[in-house]
Structure 1
Amino acid sequence: MTELPEAEYRSVWDRFYAEFAFRPSVNPAKWPGIKEPADSVTWSLASLDEDPGHVRLARFVVVVEQGLAACVEPDAMLFALDWQHVSYSFAPHRVGGHEQEPWPLSPYPDGDYYDGDYYVYLSGDFRLGSFGHPWESSVCLFGQELLDTVAAEVEDVLGPPMRRGGHRLPVT
């Protein structure tokens, strides 16, 4: 795991802003915070608010981490981006295991109202990843390979999605 040097940090964030039309805001009228790709599914994280012992949260985190690792080559790097804070590049196959460093950040965003942090995982080519929105309390997973790998289990943990491909779904 490596902290992104300033020039790379700026380059990765600039590309993320451009490719995903990232618009941070606490204003619900400006959500979602990114232009969600066609191959994306977004879930509310509200169901985790009542999760005694954080069992479902832990399961959600493991499912997303394992899914991301399964979708990249063994020597590939992922970016772990924390808006306006230290961000990292890391090899997902070399973290999180027994006697290894934990994954940096989490697919679950830091939801403090005054200092909420968007947490983003991205493959090096930006084809797949996750976008955690702290104020909407949502996570968007994108990239068809990642969705094929984790969507059913994420839905089992979080319930039905709220958006597909950036389009709001009817509430059932």
Structure 2
Amino acid sequence: MAEAWIELPVADYESTWRRIHREFRFRPSINPADWPVFAEPPGSATWSVDGILPRADSPSRARERELATAARDVLLTHVPEPLFALNWQHNGYAFRPSRMVDPHDLNSWLVPVCPNGDYVIFLSQDYAAGLLGQPWERTLCVFGDRLVPAFSLACKNLLGPPVRMRAAGAPGA
């Protein structure tokens, strides 16, 4: 697990968040009128993860494990390593999905794929592809030319159709 996740130095962590705020116009909010909190990139698709997020009365986190494993496989195949992996108000990491021993083990994810109370972000180093998780809206935005179709195919039966899509080449939000 340690080799898959390398904690970002403070300066890198802070500069990454500054760039996220600037490029994705990130404005955290629990107010539905402010959603989505990220300017979702052109060519992105956003899925509801409401049926995936664990509930207090849920005996199993099987669907969350399925999403994590699918996300790892898609990131591994379509995004160069390392990625930025950030969990708002927590440590940030350089993430190498190829080095995960058991992606099905949710405890091995230092940054969860499912936004379970905090904003979660997985980004390519060039910010051209990634996942943006919004805990209050309970959504996961996927962007990147190759990442969106691969994620859509991998999670079709798990997530269903996207709740929002942004056409490639669409003007900024």
- Which range, TM-score by smaller chain? 0.7 to 0.9
Q: Structure 1: which amino acid aligns with 2:83?
A: L
The answer for unaligned runs of 5 or more in structure 2 is 168-173
Matched residues in 2 for 1:107 and 1:90: separation? Answer: 12
Out of 107, 110, 119, the residue aligned to residue 104 of structure 1 is: 110
Q: Please tell me whether residue 69 in structure 1 is matched to residue 69 in structure 2.
A: no
Q: Structure 2: which amino acid aligns with 1:25?
A: S
Q: What's the TM-score once normalised by structure 1's chain length? A: 0.83
Matched residues in 2 for 1:97 and 1:57: separation? Answer: 14
Q: 1:138 is matched with which residue? A: 139
Residues 130 and 142 in structure 2, CA contact (< 8 A), matched pair in contact too: yes
The answer for unaligned runs of 5 or more in structure 1 is 112-116, 167-172
Offset, 1:81: 0.5
Q: What's the TM-score once normalised by structure 2's chain length? A: 0.83
**What per-residue deviation string (whole Å, max 9, x for no partner) do you get for residues 56-97 of structure 1?**
221111111110111134xx2111111121111122211244
Q: Which is further off, 124-133 or 149-158?
A: 149-158
Q: Which runs of 4+ in 1 moved over 6 A?
A: none
Matched residues in 1 for 2:149 and 2:161: separation? Answer: 15
Give the share of equivalent positions with the same residue, in percent. Answer: 39
Matched residues in 2 for 1:151 and 1:81: separation? Answer: 22
Matched residues in 2 for 1:36 and 1:123: separation? Answer: 15
Q: 1:93 is matched with which residue? A: 98
Q: Please tell me whether residue 38 in structure 1 is matched to residue 45 in structure 2.
A: no
Q: Which is further off, 152-161 or 89-98?
A: 89-98
Q: How many residues align?
A: 158
Q: Structure 2: which amino acid aligns with 1:93?
A: S
Q: Please tell me whether residue 147 in structure 1 is matched to residue 152 in structure 2.
A: no
Greater fraction helix: 1
